[in-house]
Structure 1
Amino acid sequence: MTTTWKNSPERIYNIDEKGLMENHKPPNVASNKSVPVAVTLLSSNTTTVIGCGNAIGHAIPPYLIFKGMRMRDELLEGCLPGANGTVSDSGWSNSEIFQKYLAEHFVKYSVQSTAEKPVLILYDGHKSHVSIVLSEWARERHIILFVLLAHTSHVL
């Protein structure tokens, strides 16, 4: 492998996701001793956004996961150009959705990976992001998966 990541920052990507609550209710802070009991309503719907960018600042368009049974085009109205998405029962990502994101969305907007010039992806090691099928898929496409400890990618 001839790639040195220091000389190829455009080949280093970081992927993270964030759940957005539809019915977010900010806490009422009256003093430094008050502790809010909840910041979201129990009936909240969650939409997850998968974001990705590389080390030179190129952002891949967002990928959204809506709560629902069927993806509808109007869910993406007003989104950034290139944004795409899907649905899940909960609005959260899962192994199947994460692999679909990589296979259909990430590879469409990232630099091409080859045996001589692989792509490095840094991402959260949540259980929905780690599978043998995903590892084999990435290896076949010369994509190196660098899995961070679960729930620590926010530090990046």
Structure 2
Amino acid sequence: NKRLNEAQEAALIWYIDYTIERGLPMGYNMIVAAARRILKISSVKPFKERLGKHWACRWIERMDGLGRYHALKTTPMDQKRKDCMSIKAIRGCFQKLDFILKKYNVHWKDIFNVDEIGFRVGCITSTTVITHKNIRKVYSSHLILMSRTSVTVIECISAAGYANDCYIIIPGKVYLEKMFDNNLPPDTKITASEKGYSSDDLAIKWLWHFHNQTKGRQHGAYRCLIFDGQGSHMTHEFISLCEDLKIIPFCLIAHSTHATQPLDVACFQSEKHWHGRAIEDRIRDGCNAFTKKMAL
């Protein structure tokens, strides 16, 4: 028996095509999750038996027979290929972006770039120091990732030259008033997750944050949101909301963002540097314990 009716299957096919077009082909688990959500919101009498991976395998086999989809194992890039990301591949990515912008008649001022960066509280990266010539290694205790506390910062910039209010995710289940005693810009959005990382639910909340920040500045009907090649939170719910809000998500090539992601190149590398410098200064002043409040 077919688990999806004709309309439900058409909705699933649309979703899969949508993600492929934007450089985010899905695995079996995401297809199952999308099908479950389609059933949940469209079925009067939903099936009692939950869809599983075996259903997805059978469905893809049927689609393969119809010449529409097939399962293909991704090929990992070695470091050399990552370092030598071809001009042809990058050009192809931006040609695809150009096609989408023209297809939806997106005004250039309605193009946005979003990215996230994680900061380990009290941890710094390697740095250059001056020491005696006979010394071959210098160890720093703060290079060891003793802290498992991570703060995630989500930044979004516009091609028009302005930045949306920063979105910060701190670890924890509750907010402590003392955390808000900081020198952050007053419109900074702070939210919490158990481990301080972004999640599918927070991706939805951030999308509403983005919509509310940009809807009053729109120049056309659609906005385009460019992000890195992971696309880990591109759930069916996220894409459906993008469709409702007329936001076009576009994914850059994986492993190329060190060269193609504007925020990664122009913003986050500098932030990481000055974050490390600030920790170094505190260490030299005698501080040996860092808190989430200090990170903010």
Q: Report the TM range for the smaller structure's normalisation.
A: 0.7 to 0.9
Answering whether residue 139 of structure 2 is matched by residue 139 of structure 1, we say no
Cα pair 1:49 1:64 within 8 Å, conserved: yes
Task: Quote how far apart the aligned CAs of 1:79 are.
Answer: 1.5
1:11 alignment partner in structure 2: 110
1:91 to 191, 196, 200: 196
Query: 1:9 is aligned with what amino acid?
Result: W
Task: Quote how far apart the aligned CAs of 1:93 are.
Answer: 0.7
SS in structure 2 opposite 1:110? Answer: helix
Answering whether residue 140 of structure 2 is matched by residue 51 of structure 1, we say no
User: 1:90-137 CA distances to partner (integer Å, 9 max, x unpaired)?
Assistant: 11111111111111x1112113598x6200000124353211111111
State the TM-score, normalized to the length of structure 1.
0.79
Runs (5+) with no aligned partner, structure 1: none
Distance 1:113 1:131 in 2: 27
Cα pair 2:229 2:253 within 8 Å, conserved: yes
- Is the alpha carbon distance of 1:123 and 1:68 closer, same or farther for their aligned partners in structure 2, counting shifts above 3 Å? same
Cα pair 2:120 2:147 within 8 Å, conserved: no
1:128 alignment partner in structure 2: 232
Aligned residues: 151
Cα pair 2:113 2:158 within 8 Å, conserved: yes
Task: Quote how far apart the aligned CAs of 1:151 are.
Answer: 5.5
* Higher relative strand content: 1
Answering whether residue 118 of structure 2 is matched by residue 22 of structure 1, we say no
Task: Quote how far apart the aligned CAs of 1:25 are.
Answer: 3.5
Distance 2:228 2:125 in 1: 27
1:82 alignment partner in structure 2: 187
* Higher relative helix content: 2
Distance 2:212 2:177 in 1: 19
Which stretch of structure 1 is more off in the superposition, 121-130 or 68-77?
Answer: 68-77
Task: Quote how far apart the aligned CAs of 1:69 are.
Answer: 1.1
Runs (5+) with no aligned partner, structure 2: 1-101, 262-296
- Is the alpha carbon distance of 1:42 and 1:12 closer, same or farther for their aligned partners in structure 2, counting shifts above 3 Å? same
Task: Quote how far apart the aligned CAs of 1:73 are.
Answer: 4.9
Cα pair 2:165 2:187 within 8 Å, conserved: yes
State the TM-score, normalized to the length of structure 2.
0.44
Which protein has the larger Cα radius of gyration, Structure 1 or Structure 2? Answer: 2
1:68 to 147, 172, 176: 172
Query: Could you tell me the percent identity over the aligned residues?
Result: 25
Task: Quote how far apart the aligned CAs of 1:19 are.
Answer: 0.3
Task: Quote how far apart the aligned CAs of 1:139 are.
Answer: 0.5
- Is the alpha carbon distance of 1:117 and 1:17 closer, same or farther for their aligned partners in structure 2, counting shifts above 3 Å? same
